Amino acid sequence: MTAMSDDGPSRRAVLAGAGAALLAGCTSTREREVMDSHDRVDPDVRVRAAVVAEVRRLAALYDATLAAHPAMRPVVEPFRAETAAHLSALGGRSPTSSPSPGATAASRAPVVPTSAAEAQALLARAERSAADALVGQLGNASPGLARLVASVAASEAVHAALLGVPR
Amino acid sequence: MSSAATEVGALQAVLAGEHAALYAYGVVGARLRGRRRAEATAAYADHRSRRDEVRALLVERGADPQPAAAGYRLPAPVRGAREAVGLAVGIEERLAAVWLDAVARLRGELRELAARALQDTAVRAAAWRGSGDAFPGLVDP
């Protein structure tokens, strides 16, 4: 079986990323225009950002779950580790590696059920809904990014299935 | 290649993969008993539905769905349950790569369909294996 697609960030995507950073200081009146030109340059930038946000939410839920239920580690750790691998393949950092102080970050901290069984069920549901959200992002992705995002979504579907089955 | 030709090529590739999976599950099921056998039967039914779905998509596009091969060479002899489970894992993992290629080549609804089929094959591979996979179908993440 031969794969014929360009995985990883293209030169174009890298340049677009640098452009986005340089343009971050633009005034709000120009923001729409900047976003538009952004889309024309490379829609992958937006897709990647949406997917990273989705996977980061999962990573944060795993961290919060392990903090609340340390005894769940043997079951949960392999899935948490794969989620971290997804983030790094997508070019995002894990939430713990980039603490963002402030009320908004605190208010978004996930709430973990007190029962371990319910906490595990919540993880399974979160994985399933992340997999669906990622499929929803595929339409605008280049072939190379679609390949990575679909693979990550499939891994999340596997996590949901394995976490959802009582063991 | 036109996008219609790309579509047909991608669909024929997954059809060939589903034909091979059906053949393999016939062998797998014959070597298993009890719960494992029931799982193989369920997997066979899932692959048959996918095969029929892909065939119908090809016919809708005016293409001639390619038939199954007269025979397939198994990667290793399957004498008992252990080898049967190994074959099931192998066929699902290879099929994941085929569906992931289709994700890259297709657009719109067909791309979504390929992504869902990839999820199904990854979930079955994990069930046979008993463990997850960080990047199903991706040879070199």
For chain B, 141 residues long, give each residue's pLDDT as a single digit of tens.
Answer: 678 999 999 999 999 999 999 999 999 999 999 999 999 999 999 999 999 999 999 999 999 999 999 999 999 999 999 999 999 999 999 999 999 999 999 999 999 999 999 999 999 999 999 998 999 999 865
Cβ within 8 Å, pair B97-A159: no
Write phi, then psi, for B110 (nearest 5 degrees). -65, -35
- CA-to-CA separations, B129 to A166, B21, B58, B109, B133, in angstroms, rounded: 17, 17, 32, 30, 10
Give residue A99's pLDDT.
Answer: 44
Give residue A16's pLDDT.
Answer: 42
Structural domains of chain A sorted by starting position, each given as residue range(s) with its CATH number in brackets: 10-42 (no CATH), 43-164 (1.20.1260)
Residue type at position B75: P
Of the candidates A159, A141, A147, the one whose C-alpha atom is nearest the C-alpha of residue A49 is A141
Which chain B residue has its CA at the smallest distance from A157's CA? B119
Cβ within 8 Å, pair B115-A4: no
Give residue A36's pLDDT.
Answer: 54
Of A86, A146, A158, the CB nearest to B103: A146
Give residue B72's pLDDT.
Answer: 94
* Residues of chain A that touch chain B, judged by Cβ-Cβ distance less than 8 Å: 1, 3-5, 7, 78-79, 82, 85-86, 89, 131, 135, 138-139, 143-144, 146-148, 150-155, 157-159, 161-162
Residues of A in contact with B97 (CB under 8 A): 1, 3
Cβ within 8 Å, pair B126-A147: no
Give residue A78's pLDDT.
Answer: 96
Rounded to whole angstroms, the Cα distance separating A110 from A95 reads: 12
- pLDDT-based confidence at A109, cuts 50/70/90? confident
CATH superfamily of B3-129: Ferritin, core subunit, four-helix bundle (1.20.1260.10)
CA angle A66, B132, A50 (to 5 degrees): 70
Count CB-CB contacts under 10 A for residue A99. Answer: 8
Task: Report the residue of A151, A152, A156, A162 to disrupt the B interface, i.e. the one with the largest count of B CBs within 10 Å.
Answer: A151
DSSP letter (8 states) at residue A91: T
CA distance B119 to chain A (A): 4
Residues of B in contact with A85 (CB under 8 A): 134-135, 141
- pLDDT-based confidence at A22, cuts 50/70/90? very low
ipTM of predicted complex: 0.95
Q: What is the DSSP string of A76-117?
A: HHHHHHHHHHHHHHHTPPPGGGS---SHHHHHTSPP--SSHH
Which chain B residue has its CA at the smallest distance from A77's CA? B132
CA distance A121 to chain B (A): 17
Count CB-CB contacts under 10 A for residue A68. Answer: 15
- pLDDT-based confidence at A40, cuts 50/70/90? low
H or E segment and range at residue B113: helix B108-129
pTM of the complete model: 0.83
Is A41:A16 a contact under the CB 8 Å cutoff? yes
